[in-house]
Amino acid sequence: MNDIESLEREAHEAVAACTDSQSLREATDRYVKNGVQALMKGIGAIKDPDEKRAFGKAVNDAKARITAEIDARGEAISQKERAIQFEAERIDVTMPGRRQTVGLEHILQQTTNKIKRVLGGLGFEYRESPELELFKYNFDALNYPPDHPAMDDQDTFYVDADHLLRTQCTAMQGRVFETVQPPLRMFTVGRTYRNEAVDRTHGHTFHQVDCFMIDEGVSMANLKGTLGLFARAMFGDDVKVRFRPDFFPFVEPGVDYAISTPKLKGGEWVELGGAGLIHPNILERYGIDTRRYSGFAFGLGVERIPMMAYGVDDLRHFLENDLRFLEQFRQRA
Ligand code: FA5
């Protein structure tokens, strides 16, 4: 009987000392399984049937009491463990959420998209063109005589003797004339590069549009009409377009053109780009019959458009990736 009492006492103390379910499981194995089994082995040595029964009952009673204690302790422990887990997983529903930031297209991309919509709407087909260009297309094909000083204005970054970073999107014209027969209307938009003394209106990396058509009877009147439509679509109905004579080896006659609108810079003229009728030398070089066909071309700087429209005073802002600047153009173009 003493053995039963001491097992029960020991079990009582051990169970009370358990602080987690793991130690409680160990105590259960130790006392309920092994301890009780060991006691029960002693029953064989008892001869008297009454004593035997009494011993068996005493062991079973002790087992029931130990089990009840273990259950009670188990309940307390799992309550405590649930509380700890609950604390660990607690969600503070009053905390402000993490704001999802939605990106936006760069203002130059927004402007490019608008240019594409407008020129596409006027029947010009968009063509991709390479930024790494052959000297041949950037200069030779555009009627620059060897060592002509006009090339000095467009010094650039050479990759090797034949390859350079294009200085003007006009470089696409030769690529097109080689493969497409007139009538044709095309344009491209993209990055251009020049070895430039960088200032507020000149970058070493900037963007241009180049747009041209060849058909029967194309004249300066078509050029002026098209540029007028383009300028009105970009800047509004009250915009005026001015031509002044200028020189580019690939056009004859050549002009620079400026626009003015009362809304922008108080109606001051702002130069947008160059234009003219495609030089007959170029048409002939590509086997285009100059008695039948003529063409116009115009080019312009993309940066100029948002600079004028939003009063941006320095084009270096466009490529500096400062979000405080870029965020201003959310859904504007
Ligand atoms: C040209 O590049 C000619 N290819 C334009 C042309 C096309 C003429 C077709 C005739 C026929 P120009 O060098 O002027 O021309 O440049 C055209 C425009 O690009 C300029 O008016 C200006 O808006 C922009 N631009 C030129 N250089 C820079 C620069 N360094 N930084 C920013 N914009 C520039």
Query: Each residue of 35-75: pLDDT tens digit?
Result: 888 888 888 888 888 888 888 898 898 899 999 999 999 99
CA distances from 328 to 55, 101, 317, 322, 325 (A): 90, 15, 12, 11, 6
> Is residue 238 pLDDT above 70, yes or no?
yes
Q: Which DSSP string corresponds to 162-212?
A: SEEE-S-GGGHHHHHHHH-PSSEEEEEEEEEE-----BTTB-SEEEEEEEE
Distance separating alpha carbons of residues 263 and 40, to the nearest angstrom: 105
DSSP β-bridge partners for residue 244: 256
pLDDT at residue 331 in the model? 64
Do 186 and 127 contact (CB within 8 A), yes or no?
yes
pLDDT at residue 116 in the model? 98
pLDDT above 70 covers what percent of the chain? 99
Length of the chain: 333
Per CATH, the homologous superfamily of domain 107-329 is Bira Bifunctional Protein; Domain 2 (3.30.930.10)
Ligand 1 centroid from CA 165, angstroms: 15
Predicted model pTM:
0.74
> Is residue 332 pLDDT above 60, yes or no?
no
- Which SS3 state, helix, strand or coil, does residue 137 take? helix
Distance separating alpha carbons of residues 302 and 234, to the nearest angstrom: 11
Distance separating alpha carbons of residues 106 and 315, to the nearest angstrom: 14
- 149 vs 172 pLDDT, higher one: 172
pLDDT at residue 103 in the model? 86
Local confidence band at 290 (pLDDT 50, 70, 90 cut-offs): very high
User: Domain limits of the chain?
Assistant: 2-88, 107-329
Phi-psi region of 12 (alpha: psi -120 to 50; beta: other; left: phi over 0): alpha
Do 216 and 293 contact (CB within 8 A), yes or no?
yes
Please report, in angstroms and rounded to a whole number, the separation of the first and last CA atoms in the chain: 95
Q: Whose CA is nearest to atom 20 of ligand 1?
A: 273
- 120 vs 49 pLDDT, higher one: 120
List, for residues 70-105, the tens digit of each pLDDT value. Answer: 999 999 999 998 999 999 998 888 989 888 888 889
List, for residues 2-44, the tens digit of each pLDDT value. Answer: 788 888 899 899 889 999 889 999 989 998 888 888 888 888 8
Q: Name the residue of 133, 191, 206 whose CB sits within 8 Å of the most ligand 1 atoms, as the mutation to test its pocket.
A: 206
Q: CA angle 153-157-162, nearest 5°?
A: 100
> Is residue 160 pLDDT above 50, yes or no?
yes
Q: In sequence order, what are the residues at sequence separation of 6 or more whose Cβ sits closer than 8 angstroms to the Cβ of residue 91? A: none
Nearest atom in ligand 1 to the alpha carbon of residue 203 is 31
Instruction: Name the class of domain 2-88.
Output: mainly alpha
Sheet architecture: strand order including 251-260: 125-126, 184-193, 205-216, 293-301, 270-278, 251-260, 240-245
Distance separating alpha carbons of residues 288 and 72, to the nearest angstrom: 101
Nearest atom in ligand 1 to the alpha carbon of residue 254 is 10
Best-predicted range by mean pLDDT among 171-175, 320-324, 326-330?
A: 171-175
List, for residues 207-233, the tens digit of each pLDDT value. Answer: 999 999 999 999 999 999 999 999 999
Do 287 and 180 contact (CB within 8 A), yes or no?
no
Do 271 and 233 contact (CB within 8 A), yes or no?
no
> Is residue 131 pLDDT above 90, yes or no?
yes
Q: Name the residue of 124, 152, 156, 168 whose CB sits within 8 Å of the most ligand 1 atoms, as the mutation to test its pocket.
A: 168
Ligand 1 centroid from CA 48, angstroms: 119
Q: Whose CA is nearest to atom 2 of ligand 1?
A: 168
List, for residues 246-272, the tens digit of each pLDDT value. Answer: 999 999 999 999 999 887 777 889 899
Ligand 1, CB within 6 Å, residue ranges:
168, 170, 194, 196, 202-203, 206, 208, 210, 248, 251, 271, 273-276, 297-301, 303-304, 315
Using the 8-state DSSP alphabet, how is residue 247 labeled? -
What is the maximum alpha-carbon separation in the chain? 136
pLDDT at residue 333 in the model? 46
